[in-house]
């Protein structure tokens, strides 16, 4: 008779006293740990809610009978301020009206968060893609490639990225528009993403490099090499599955970072421009009306903070679920 569950698993994995012991894959373990987390699932629901709301912004605003470009002047008084309390909040305009122009804040923010999520998602995924390739190349092959990458990322870290983005965004947008790839806000979006990726990938590449360096010394890699597996096979079949958790954690933690970065640059006037309405733009406009229409300032702030908070909590939960060290 086996003494403990552990012994039982060693001798006969199928059954102990009627209870079935199934072997779990790392994915299942992580998933179970995530579900056990108190806030993890809720932060996932909240994040998904906002992402879906942004994705379906045109549908939602249409169903609500609104448009992000229409002007509802009948809701404004003679000083172009929304009538009614709390910035003109009503069933028709759940977040009130924009003072001055009279657009609907609810649809403005939905469309704005669309841009923010696009920037955050595309940037994170692109940084992960580049960082993965470069990091594995450096960590697995070592030698000259590694030295080159190390020096290059040192060099890139020395650049004051914030300054460079601010200083170069105007001329870069100009350049992109001249090539005819994109115009207006699409060009600005593209430039912002290019900059974020350019300065963002070395951080992730370093992480992956360090991990692949320790992975390649592990026995299972040596076993694969002894069996005559090609480098390509070792990288794709042996190393990548071990590197995915890092990528997922990085993705979930960098999303809120890029989301607020986009807001900051738009707020400073070097990102997306009106008539688009991202969080940064709405907030920089709202500052002018803080005394007469504070809800126009509070609602976008609260929405941005809730999104960033939910994504941060989600990132923490994902990290805890995938991090085997804290078991």
Partner 1 sequence: MLKYISRRLLYTVILLLLVSLSIFYIFDLIPVDPARLVCSKSCTTALVEANRHRLGLDVSVLEQWWRFIQGLFQGRTYGEGGIKDIYCGAPSFGYSFNRHACVSTIMAEAFPITLSLTIGAFIMWLSIGISLGILAARKKGKFADRASTAFVLIGTSLPTFITGIMVVLFIVLKFHLVNPLELGDWQNPFTNPLGWLRTFFFPCATLAIAYAATYTRFTRSNILEISTEDYIRTARAKGLSEKVILRKHTLRAALAPIVTIAGLDFAGLLGGAIITEGIFGLSGLGKLSIKAVTQTYDLPIIVATTLVGSAFVVIMNLIVDVAYAYIDPRVRTT
Q: How far is the CB of 124 from partner 1 (least distance, A)?
A: 17
Among 79, 91, 163, 232, binds partner 1 (CB under 8 A): 163
Length of the chain: 327
Using CB under 8 A as the binding rule, whether residue 301 contacts partner 1 is answered as yes
Of 90-98, 125-133, 192-200, 279-287, which segment contacts partner 1 by CB under 8 A? 279-287
Using CB under 8 A as the binding rule, whether residue 168 contacts partner 1 is answered as yes
Among 205, 255, 304, 322, binds partner 1 (CB under 8 A): 304
Spell out the residues 6+ positions from residue 139 whose beta carbon is closer than 8 angstroms to its own. Answer: 146, 208, 209, 210, 211, 212, 213, 215, 216
Using CB under 8 A as the binding rule, whether residue 26 contacts partner 1 is answered as no
Among 178, 179, 226, 227, binds partner 1 (CB under 8 A): 178
Using CB under 8 A as the binding rule, whether residue 147 contacts partner 1 is answered as no
Burial class (CB in 10 A: 0-12, 13-18, 19+), 17: exposed
Given a contact cutoff of 8 angstroms between Cβ atoms, the answer to whether 273 and 186 are in contact is no
Using CB under 8 A as the binding rule, whether residue 220 contacts partner 1 is answered as no
Using CB under 8 A as the binding rule, whether residue 287 contacts partner 1 is answered as yes
Using CB under 8 A as the binding rule, whether residue 160 contacts partner 1 is answered as yes
Using CB under 8 A as the binding rule, whether residue 269 contacts partner 1 is answered as yes
Using CB under 8 A as the binding rule, whether residue 79 contacts partner 1 is answered as no
β-bridge partners, 15: 20
- Give helix 40-55 / helix 26-36 axis angle, nearest 10°: 100
Nearer to partner 1, 111 or 195 (CB): 195
User: What tokens appear for 307 in the block?
Assistant: 């999104």
CA-to-CA distance for 56 and 70, rounded, in angstroms? 18
Angstrom CA distances, 277 to 88, 146, 192, 233, stand at 18, 43, 16, 47
Using CB under 8 A as the binding rule, whether residue 181 contacts partner 1 is answered as no
Of 112-120, 142-150, 156-164, 182-190, which segment contacts partner 1 by CB under 8 A? 156-164
User: What tokens appear for 39 in the block?
Assistant: 């806030």
- The tally of CA atoms less than 13 A away on the side-chain side of residue 305 is 7
Nearer to partner 1, 64 or 298 (CB): 298
- The tally of CA atoms less than 13 A away on the side-chain side of residue 231 is 5
Alpha helices in 3-104 (DSSP H): 5-11, 26-36, 40-55, 57-63, 85-88
Among 49, 69, 84, 159, binds partner 1 (CB under 8 A): 159
Using CB under 8 A as the binding rule, whether residue 309 contacts partner 1 is answered as yes
- Give helix 40-55 / helix 105-141 axis angle, nearest 10°: 120
Question: According to CB under 8 A, which residues from 225 to 264 bind partner 1?
Answer: 256, 260, 263-264
Nearer to partner 1, 221 or 311 (CB): 311
Q: Residue 319 — φ and ψ, nearest 5°?
A: -65, -45
Given a contact cutoff of 8 angstroms between Cβ atoms, the answer to whether 283 and 263 are in contact is yes
Number of chain residues interacting with partner 1 (CB under 8 A): 38
Among 1, 23, 158, 226, binds partner 1 (CB under 8 A): 158
Spell out the residues 6+ positions from residue 167 whose beta carbon is closer than 8 angstroms to its own. Answer: none
Using CB under 8 A as the binding rule, whether residue 164 contacts partner 1 is answered as yes
Q: How far is the CB of 267 from partner 1 (least distance, A)?
A: 5
Residues at the site binding partner 1, with contacts judged by CB under 8 A: 154-155, 157-160, 162-164, 166-168, 170-172, 174-175, 178, 256, 260, 263-264, 267-270, 280, 283, 287, 290, 297, 301, 304-305, 308-309, 312-313
């Amino acid at each position: 008779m086996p003494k403990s569950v552990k012994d039982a698993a060693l001798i006969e994995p199928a059954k102990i006293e009627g209870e079935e012991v199934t072997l779990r894959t790392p994915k299942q373990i992580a998933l179970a740990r995530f579900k056990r987390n108190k806030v993890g699932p809720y932060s996932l629901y909240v994040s998904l809610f906002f992402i879906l709301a942004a994705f379906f912004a045109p549908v939602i605003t249409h169903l609500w009978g609104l448009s992000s470009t229409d002007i509802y002047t009948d809701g404004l008084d003679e000083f172009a301020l929304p009538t009614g309390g709390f910035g003109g909040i009503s069933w028709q305009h759940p977040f009130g009206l924009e003072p001055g122009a009279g657009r609907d804040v609810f649809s403005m923010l939905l469309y704005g968060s669309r841009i923010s999520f696009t920037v955050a998602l595309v940037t994170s995924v692109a940084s992960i893609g580049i960082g993965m390739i470069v990091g594995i190349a450096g960590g697995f092959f070592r030698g000259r490639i590694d030295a080159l990458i190390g020096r290059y990322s040192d060099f890139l870290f020395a650049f004051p990225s914030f300054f460079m983005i601010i200083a170069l965004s105007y001329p870069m947008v100009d350049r992109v528009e001249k090539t005819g790839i994109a115009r207006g806000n699409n060009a600005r979006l593209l430039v912002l993403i290019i900059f974020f990726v350019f300065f963002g990938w070395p951080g992730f590449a370093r992480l992956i490099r360090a991990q692949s360096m320790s992975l390649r010394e592990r026995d299972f890699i040596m076993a694969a090499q002894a069996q005559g597996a090609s480098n390509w096979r070792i990288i794709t079949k042996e190393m990548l599955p071990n590197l995915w958790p890092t990528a997922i954690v990085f993705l979930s933690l960098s999303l809120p970072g890029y989301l607020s970065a986009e807001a900051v640059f738009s707020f400073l006037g070097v990102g997306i421009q009106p008539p688009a309405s991202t969080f940064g733009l709405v907030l920089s406009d709202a500052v002018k009306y803080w005394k007469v229409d504070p809800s126009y300032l509070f609602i976008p702030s609260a929405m941005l903070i809730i999104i960033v908070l939910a994504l941060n909590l989600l990132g923490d939960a994902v990290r805890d679920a995938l991090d085997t060290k804290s078991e």
